[in-house]
Structure 1
Amino acid sequence: MLKTYKLYVGGKFPRSESGRVYEVTDSKQNWLANAPLSSRKDARDAVVAARKAFGGWSGATAYNRGQILYRIAEMLEGRRDQYVAEVADAEGLSKSKAAAQVDAAIDRWVWYAGWTDKIAQVVGGGNPVAGPFFNLSSPEPTGVVAVLAPQKSSFLGLVSVVAPVIATGNTAVVVASEKSPLPALSLGEVLATSDLPGGVVNILSGRTAEIAAPLAAHQDVNAIDLAGAGEELAKELEIAAADNLKRVLRPQPVDDAGADWSATPGTDRMTAFLETKTVWHPTGALGASGSSY
């Protein structure tokens, strides 16, 4: 019997509100499994779960977030063979090439885990001012981020867009690759048994345009990553996102082979969803007792 996957929302595995599923096939059109066909209601539920989880996740120490992400990487490595098979089927790759993709994805997850307690030192700092003040800038997470996973890179691309969002303290509503959702849905199974709080990552599958539209227009979504949107859809979503001034990360230019997700990522995807808070504090001021503080 073929497996019927479920969504991953709020740390649980609900069926789609609509009760719909669709057939997932491999590169040769062989039927692999059934995946949920998410509805607008599922998208709204995922946003509610992400917002509920944001306070705790953003308030956790950067070190704690890093340790949780490191553990997830270990768990991904423990299911390496499963992911190799899923990526090979999804992308029509040989086992060796699929293994290279999976290894790169696990390394990418570890790389972002290492940035959790370092990114603030890179993008924050003290600012020189003309006056008796300290002027300090520090990064803070934007909030709930809707992430459209890349369509062609089912696992390496997925990790490359999800990990930087949560590493910096945001929570995510992820729309899996429409044709190749199984690696993303399997990621939900890993996250559910990790120390990651429920709701930090929520995973939906189905028709990308159908799910993305309500997320782009949702007033409680603070940002959207359009990595998995085509040019026409990206324009429509960007217009919808402007209604509540969402941060929008536009998709990378792609050629016939798609975006190069194996390239060194840099810090751009982390800083894209960070806000800068600046604090002024007087120096040499006198307290009530006359002592300086």
Structure 2
Amino acid sequence: MSDNSRLSVFKTYKLFVGGKFPRSESGRVYEVTSKTSGAAAPGKGGWLANAPLSSRKDARDAVVAARKAFGPWSGATAYNRGQVLYRVAEMLEGRREQFVREVADAEGLSKSKAGARVDAAVDRWVWYAGWTDKVAQVVGGGNPVAGPFFNLSTPEPTGVVAVLAPQESSFLGLVSVLAPVLATGNTAVVVASERAPLPALSLGEVLATSDVPGGTVNILSGRTKEIAAPLAAHSDVNAIDLTGADEALATELEIAAADNLKRVLRPGAEDDWSADPGMRRLTAFLETKTVWHPTGSLGASGSSY
């Protein structure tokens, strides 16, 4: 049989929820097209795939999965989380060519420029993996008090974080907003770039075959506004990153999040994904726990609390 007679086997992209790959419960899909050049409008490039069009039910399912995974992930040692995240970077490196192709199509880049962005994304993932067991030393510490006590402040993860991924930076931007959430012990519900979701959906395949526990990361594709609204209003979502929202949507979501006292990270003009990321995102979704402890023993047995 000649090669010309073969039928192409197209990749089927699915959501990533609870460590599994469901289709949208609504059964809906939408066309994803390549970005030809510059600011080309969606639909002007070539067809790439049909991506799942997530529903509100999919968003709620993702929150349930993230909440279930929060205990095991936040309870793991910081060193162990770092090892798990580094393993993800190893697997991303092994699938480099696939991500280069998807990023080139998504962002209208040459192969060399797409390769540079994929390399930067992998490097950034490694960078955040290295922070897992160091962030407590930077943002925690001992506090001077007037009394015979130790007073210690330590960072703890906020909980379930809804992440609206950047719309234009389909992979480097995605890694830049997701990796710090995971490194600090949170679990995530990610809303992929609406126009260019394929690198995010492929990242789900990498996570599924790594050591990241199922439900730690959940990836949804579809209309950002449609998926983000129930996440902002959901009482079991503890925080939301509005990076992928435009100004009007960000304001709307921030109002919804205020009703249930979510921690909110507004989109920032300073989000240059090629720049040094600094500590901003590492500390965005951390809470501070303060513990008092007597400096001496209590009682004849020498026990303390």
TM-score using structure 1 length: 0.96
Give per-residue Cα distances to partners, 1:129-173, cap 9 Å, x unaligned. 110000000000000000000000000000000000010000000
SS in 2 for 1:244: coil
Matched, 1:95 2:111: yes
Matched, 1:6 2:18: no
Paired-residue identity, %: 85
Alignment correspondent of 2:192 = 176
Alignment correspondent of 1:15 = 23
Distance between the aligned counterparts of 1:286 and 1:3, measured in 2?
66
Flag structure 1 segments of 5+ consecutive residues without an equivalent: none
Taking only aligned residues, the RMSD between alpha carbons, in angstroms, comes to: 1.1
SS in 2 for 1:23: strand
Give per-residue Cα distances to partners, 1:229-261, cap 9 Å, x unaligned. 00000000000000111000000127xxxx420
SS in 2 for 1:115: coil
Alpha-carbon offset, residue 292 of structure 1: 7.6
Flag structure 2 segments of 5+ consecutive residues without an equivalent: 1-8, 37-44
| Cα pair 1:2 1:34 within 8 Å, conserved | no
Q: How does 1:53-64 map to 2 (within 5 A)?
A: 53-64=69-80
Alignment correspondent of 2:39 = none
Distance between the aligned counterparts of 2:182 and 2:193, measured in 1?
19
**Cα distance change of structure 1 residues 105 and 129 upon mapping to structure 2, 3 Å threshold:** same
SS in 1 for 2:83: helix
Distance between the aligned counterparts of 1:47 and 1:144, measured in 2?
7
Alpha-carbon offset, residue 266 of structure 1: 0.7
Alpha-carbon offset, residue 275 of structure 1: 0.2
Alignment correspondent of 1:197 = 213
Alignment correspondent of 2:234 = 218
Give per-residue Cα distances to partners, 1:84-127, cap 9 Å, x unaligned. 11111000011111011000000000000000000000000111
Q: How does 1:139-150 map to 2 (within 5 A)?
A: 139-150=155-166
Distance between the aligned counterparts of 1:260 and 1:99, measured in 2?
18
Distance between the aligned counterparts of 2:12 and 2:110, measured in 1?
25
Structure 1 letter corresponding to 2:28: R
| Cα pair 1:9 1:199 within 8 Å, conserved | yes
For residue 45 of structure 1, the aligned residue among 61, 77, 96 is 61
Matched, 1:270 2:282: yes
For residue 272 of structure 2, the aligned residue among 242, 260, 267 is 260
Give per-residue Cα distances to partners, 1:194-227, cap 9 Å, x unaligned. 0000000000000000000000000000000001
SS in 1 for 2:249: helix
Distance between the aligned counterparts of 1:42 and 1:119, measured in 2?
33
Alpha-carbon offset, residue 267 of structure 1: 1.1
SS in 1 for 2:190: strand
Runs of 4+ that moved beyond 3 A: none
Structure 2 letter corresponding to 1:39: S
Alpha-carbon offset, residue 2 of structure 1: 3.5
For residue 139 of structure 2, the aligned residue among 123, 133, 155 is 123
| Cα pair 1:6 1:13 within 8 Å, conserved | yes
| Cα pair 1:284 1:292 within 8 Å, conserved | no
Distance between the aligned counterparts of 1:246 and 1:260, measured in 2?
25
Structure 2 letter corresponding to 1:7: L
Alpha-carbon offset, residue 283 of structure 1: 1.6
Distance between the aligned counterparts of 1:277 and 1:288, measured in 2?
30
TM-score using structure 2 length: 0.93
Distance between the aligned counterparts of 2:170 and 2:98, measured in 1?
13
For residue 24 of structure 1, the aligned residue among 21, 32, 35 is 32
Alpha-carbon offset, residue 3 of structure 1: 2.6
Distance between the aligned counterparts of 2:295 and 2:35, measured in 1?
65
Distance between the aligned counterparts of 1:239 and 1:11, measured in 2?
31
Total equivalences in the alignment: 288
Q: How does 1:227-238 map to 2 (within 5 A)?
A: 227-238=243-254
Distance between the aligned counterparts of 1:107 and 1:287, measured in 2?
53
